[in-house]
Structure 1
Amino acid sequence: MRTISYEIDPGGDLELVLKEPNTLDVIPVVLPLDDDDATSSDIIFDNSSLSGRYSIFDKFDSQRDTEDPKRFVDGCPDEVRIKVSSRHLILASPVFRKMLEGPWSENASSSPPSEARQIFTTGWDAKALAIVLDVIHSRCQEVPKEINVPLLTRIATIVDYYQCHESLQFVSDVWLNLPDSVVRDPEPNWVDDLMILYSGWVFCHEGISSNKMKVVLRHSPGRSQFDLKDLPLAGLLGRLNNPRQEFVGRVLEGLHVLRKTLFVENGCPEKRLAACSSLTLGVLMRALHQMKRLDPPVTAPFDKYSVTAIFKLIDRFPKHKPSNYRKNYGVCSCDVYKRMQPVIYGIEDEIDNFKATNIQGWGEAQRSI
């Protein structure tokens, strides 16, 4: 068995043994909306390459099997043994406290008094785990001030699992000082966006979390587009899916309200043209019929339809003009999209003002410490 030894506390009374390192896959896969073209990304999202004491873990990033990126080539370590202080872990993490002080001393081996006690864990990214444990032990001199999004996400999964948010809060504020171009980009870059959203949620960074939630609310067509792998984000995406469904449903309801209005109004609001109302009604009736025949149909729970996609669909409804409108009435710009603008702008305004604190569970992990 190939082993790496990493010493955090030379006088530590505990050895944390990481089995099967780097086997958890927290990089989500974005599935095309057309199932026939669904593919998995083979891009490898390596961690930041770090110098000093962390360079020993770079081999996990560099020695992947080129034919199967999830597997490591021969010679890569099978386990990592980390010398730590049980007292530091107990103070930092209720999960470690339960393992080390609970009635059954969960997952801990009974070692001879002359040897350090052992506890075991599995699958974590070795570099991320070493950084987390260094911070818990206040060995921060070589902790990097800048890390890439994949490493940040792998650290966040460990912090989330062991509930050691408080110990990592100060350094996470530094890591999450991301460029505005990354935080505020309104267009989806889904793999990075989902990882940043998760990290912002774990570390309770309201600005980053709110911005990425807005991207999800506008552009996500539902949870079926994402294969999250081992990234524990399903619960949060489920909570964001509820307002997405509500927004799309509100648009559909607005179309039906408009249909009823067009049936009874004497003319369009702009020029009072009866012909304009009749033409708009015809376009809308045909469009509503076609929307039911789309694959999938635009019906609740509106899977595969984002809020932005619904807005664009309405904007593509045919534009109409009464044949004699210029001669008798001047320009009239009425169409379905314009008549729906109060509903559309209302939804856009709600998304613009959406905050992470609106979501149930915000900050619960931090408050439970």
Structure 2
Amino acid sequence: MPVVTHDVVPDGDIYIVLKNPNAKWTAPLFKLRKHATDKASYIRDKCSMDLPKLLRLGLEPYEYRIRVSSQHLITACPKFKKMLQSPWKESAPVNATSPSESSDQVPCIPAIREISTSGWNVHALVQVLNIIHGRNKEVTRGDTTLRFIADMTVIVNYYECVEAASLAADLWRERVDVPKKYGKESIVLLFISWVFSWDAMFSSMAQLVMEHGEGLEHVETNNLPIATILEKLHKKRQWSFPVVFNRLNHLRGELLQGRMGCNRKCRDMLVGRLGAAKNDMNKKFGNWDRKHKGISVGLVMSTLDNYASPKWRDPDEKGRAHSRDCSIKSLMQPTFN
């Protein structure tokens, strides 16, 4: 197997040996609902995320040996520290020499140890190592794709060197086009923002998942370690449907009790609209308050949006038009907020 060497630190005391490079697939496989279809049907999200040609062609038959400094690794990365301060297989010493009997005045040559790893995007790994070693001029400053940022972030997360990479990550964030639709890009950015604690962006991406996700069966995370986060959001999504269903029932009771609505006529119309809305949702989603499959919170919200406030004026109340706040959408909005 051909071997490619790269010196991050020419006199370093560690070789990071990368085998089977570019094998990890950090872009999730994702299925999106087809628009304008009565039954739930899905197509694969074909967003390419600007994949490099190198990755499209498959795996490279190379082994990469990257020379680095153990002191930098230990200082920046707790995981490297554990490897280098323990007799792990991944950190075995090589090339150790000792003085011969005839040359006992010659000092020992320090052992160069190896840390074996596999699968990483080799360019992303070199970038992360440049960051760890403070080689700022070697850090990518031009156009950086979301996929490449994801490859670097997965490495940063695995080796627990978030703090060391945080300044570089701020530069990456400036180059990210924030997706406005739910898809593989929003899932990837959800992971990146979680790793680097970009709170506002994480909340925005989590909101997309919560509103438009239709179940974990439509997302295959591959080598992107985000399954735990998606499971938590999925549980919140499942929890939200009974809340919406119960709120609709509660709203009907409040209207019948006269505690909502402008007046009796307003309440009568809203009760009728509410019944029509629930009937339409049962037809469209089935037993949606229990199964939670094939639907999203966003679909429920859009269905309720179709039931706007009726435009009417009570002839017995001159000068007063029907309040825009008296609509199913407006009365349900606090629940979605």
TM > 0.5: yes
Q: How far did 1:249 drift?
A: 3.2
Identity %: 25
Q: How far did 1:155 drift?
A: 0.6
SS of the residue 1:17 aligns to: strand
From 77, 80, 83, the counterpart of 1:93: 77
Q: How far did 1:126 drift?
A: 0.6
Q: Partners of 2:281 and 2:197 in 1: how far apart?
A: 40
Q: Per-residue displacement from partner, 1:243-271 (whole Å, max 9, x unpaired)?
A: 434444332222101222344449x8334
1:311 paired residue number = 301
1:4/1:77 contact within 8 Å kept? no
Query: What is the identity, as a one-letter code, of the residue corresponding to 1:347?
Result: F
SS of the residue 1:12 aligns to: coil
Query: What is the identity, as a one-letter code, of the residue corresponding to 2:300?
Result: I
SS of the residue 2:33 aligns to: coil
From 126, 130, 134, the counterpart of 1:134: 130
Pair 1:231–1:12, CA change in 2 (3 A): same
Q: Partners of 2:147 and 2:191 in 1: how far apart?
A: 11
Query: What is the identity, as a one-letter code, of the residue corresponding to 1:316?
Result: N
Q: Partners of 1:188 and 1:290 in 2: how far apart?
A: 26
From 27, 40, 46, the counterpart of 2:51: 46
SS of the residue 1:141 aligns to: helix
2:250 paired residue number = 257
Aligned length: 317
1:254/1:340 contact within 8 Å kept? no
Q: How far did 1:213 drift?
A: 2.5
Gaps of 5+ in 1: 48-60, 66-70, 349-369
Q: Partners of 2:126 and 2:54 in 1: how far apart?
A: 18
1:219/1:308 contact within 8 Å kept? yes
2:73/2:132 contact within 8 Å kept? yes
What is the 5 A alignment of 1:210-225?
A: 210-225=203-218
Q: Per-residue displacement from partner, 1:84-103 (whole Å, max 9, x unpaired)?
A: 1222212221211222211x
2:156 paired residue number = 159
2:77/2:161 contact within 8 Å kept? yes
Q: Per-residue displacement from partner, 1:69-114 (whole Å, max 9, x unpaired)?
A: xx24xxx442211111222212221211222211x32323342314
Pair 1:40–1:94, CA change in 2 (3 A): same
Query: What is the identity, as a one-letter code, of the residue corresponding to 1:90?
Result: I
Q: Partners of 1:253 and 1:272 in 2: how far apart?
A: 23
What is the 5 A alignment of 1:260-339?
A: 260-265=253-258, 269-273=261-265, 277-295=267-285, 297-300=287-290, 302-317=292-307, 338-339=327-328
Q: How far did 1:37 drift?
A: 4.0
1:230 paired residue number = 223
From 324, 330, 333, the counterpart of 1:341: 330
Pair 1:337–1:7, CA change in 2 (3 A): farther
Query: What is the identity, as a one-letter code, of the residue corresponding to 1:130?
Result: V
Is 1:191–2:187 an aligned residue pair?
A: no
Q: What is the aligned-residue RMSD (CA, Å)?
A: 3.2
Q: How far did 1:150 drift?
A: 1.0
1:5/1:80 contact within 8 Å kept? yes
Give TM-score, length-normalised by structure 2.
Answer: 0.80
1:356 paired residue number = none
2:37 paired residue number = none
Larger radius of gyration: 2
2:13/2:112 contact within 8 Å kept? yes
Query: What is the identity, as a one-letter code, of the residue corresponding to 1:26?
Result: T
Give TM-score, length-normalised by structure 1.
Answer: 0.74
Pair 1:335–1:282, CA change in 2 (3 A): farther
2:241/2:288 contact within 8 Å kept? no
1:353 paired residue number = none
2:103 paired residue number = none
